[in-house]
Amino acid sequence: MRVDKYLWAVRYFKTRSIATNACKKGHVKIGGESIKPSRNVYPTDKLEIRKNQINYQIEILDLPKSRVGAKLVNIYCNDITPKENLEKLDLLKYSQDYYRKKGAGRPTKKDRRELDDLKENAKDDIDL
């Protein structure tokens, strides 16, 4: 089975064209080597997939005939991603919450005053 079709079938990518583009960009590797989207994969192959700034590692257990449901994905692949990589995902989520939410609009007068107070306090701390 082609690697782009496999990644789409086990729901690592939403569409097959996104999986193909990821292969072309070198985000999918087998044994440390970038692979083409047309490369065949077999059971016991280990894939490394870079997606959303995280390196996922999966082991192929079996090849599905077509796209499978989310509950059946574990039959066809085993996720062997190290915990450190998954913790990076949590850190990315927390860092995005620090900034203003998209669509929140311009800062209000209250926001501006809080920023001014913060700057004054920082300036007072530096003068000491």
Task: Identify the bridge partners of residue 79 per DSSP, sorted by sequence position.
Answer: 58
Write down the pLDDT at residue 18.
95
Q: What is the pLDDT along the chain (128 residues), one digit of tens a residue?
A: 999 999 999 999 999 999 999 999 999 999 899 999 999 999 999 999 999 888 999 999 999 999 999 999 999 999 998 888 888 877 777 766 566 666 677 878 888 898 888 888 877 777 65
Please tell me the pTM assigned to this model.
Answer: 0.70
Of 57, 10, 49, 55, the C-alpha closest to 26 is: 49
Any residues with CB less than 8 A from the CB of 37 and at least 6 apart, and which? 2, 3, 4, 19, 20, 23, 24
